[in-house]
Amino acid sequence: MTPFRSLAFLTLLLAGAMTTAFAQEDAVTRTEESFIPNYAVASSYFTWNADSDLSGGDGSVSQEEAGIEGNVPILKRDGLMITVGAQYRWNHLSFSGLPEPLGSRSFDLHRVDLPINAWADFNDRWKLWVRLQPGWYSDFENVGSDDFILTSLVLFSYRWNDWMKVAFGGFYSKDLGEERVLPALGFIIEPDPNWSLALTFPRVELAYAPSPDWLFTGRAVLSGSGWNIADPNGGSEDIDLNYRSIRAGIGIDHRLSGPWWAYLDAGVQLGQEIEIEGGGYRFSKELDPSAFISTGVKVRF
């Protein structure tokens, strides 16, 4: 796994770790980002990306993405909860005028993850979150050991005072026989009951909740993924296809009813790059910035 892919995975886990929840405290509406989240029972989404031209050359890339996930608690008692779940993500990438083996082909790529989460509340200040997530990232034409990936995260959260939380821990990943360990560190600042600022490398987010039913956010995160795919030219070796970007934008979340939420995010993808490795191929192409829109629904408890 490349360093960027490891950081992208870490970003996704931390983003899940800081799912926004709402609470009533002394009749004051408060938005609260938590490193140790209430789990999302289910969610689904669709993301559209505008065409991205190759920087300084001919060729372009277009992509769409959709996903669905569900989680079920298997143990729930005071101070401890364990859940198991399943996640599926589909990406459609269409290329035009790129070097071989991409050329002007289209690919349907898949990610299947089976996350296992454990939460522990030690006291009012200390909490722990442990996540183990095996998965398969592939075109599913020829599934083998190279398609398998294992990621895990151990994160401690500590409430420093009434307006700041800190978190620290470690992230581990293994794929294609390569192991990587990265630190996880972050701060959440809540200067006001309705505002929060999350500084959680490699992610920053500003959130404002005017009421328990609305949330407005501005964020910048690392994004992207990698897949092990069959050689489109029929070669005997599989190849690794990696996509990476920095996604910056604004979002709106709205409670529809009870635990049901809908959201809409929009913005721009910067620093985009397509990379191919393996099977005798090796190249990396930068892409111009492009717009994105993402919408979905969540069931939160």
Q: What is the pLDDT of residues 37-60, one digit of tens each?
A: 556 689 999 999 999 999 987 899
Reported confidence tier of residue 32, pLDDT bands at 50, 70, 90: very low
Decide if 106 contacts 92 (C-beta within 8 A).
Answer: yes
Per-residue pLDDT tens for 63-98?
999 999 999 999 989 889 999 999 999 999 999 998
Query: Hey, which bits of 78-163 come out as E strands?
Result: 80-96, 106-113, 116-121, 126-138, 148-161
Which amino acid is it at 34? S
Least confident of 87-96, 127-136, 172-181, 272-281: 172-181
Q: Which two tokens stand for residue 42?
A: 């289910």
Does position 18 have pLDDT exceeding 50, yes or no?
no
Q: Tell me which long-range contacts 201-206 makes (C-beta under 8 A, separation of at least 24).
A: 202/7, 202/10, 202/11, 203/11, 203/14, 203/15, 205/18, 205/33
- Residue 168 in this model has a pLDDT that exceeds 80: yes
pLDDT of residue 140: 83
**Dist. CA 118–CA 87, nearest whole Å:** 17
pLDDT in the model for residue 290 = 96
Work out the percent of the chain whose per-residue pLDDT is above 70: 85
The pLDDT-based confidence of 130 (bands split at 50, 70, 90) is very high
CATH of region 3-212:
2.40.160
What is the residue extent of each domain of the chain? 3-212
Query: What mean pLDDT, rounded, does the chain reach?
Result: 84
CB 254 within 8 A of CB 216: no
**What distance in Å separates the CA atoms of residue 160 and residue 165, rounded to the nearest whole number?**
5
pLDDT (tens digit per residue) in 203-258? 899 999 898 889 999 999 888 888 989 898 888 888 989 999 999 999 999 999 98
User: pLDDT band at residue 301, thresholds of 50, 70 and 90?
Assistant: low
What is the phi-psi region of residue 10: left when phi exceeds 0, alpha when psi lies from -120 to 50, beta otherwise? alpha
Query: How far apart, in whole angstroms, are the C-alpha atoms of residue 230 and residue 150?
Result: 21
- For residue 85, the model assigns a pLDDT of 93
Residues whose CB falls within 8 Å of the CB of residue 291, separated by 6 or more in sequence, listed in order = 49, 50, 266, 267, 268, 269
Q: Please report the pLDDT score of residue 236 as a whole number.
A: 82
Report residue 1's pLDDT band, with 50, 70 and 90 as the boundaries.
very low
pLDDT surpassing 70 at residue 11: no
Quote the pLDDT of residue 54.
92
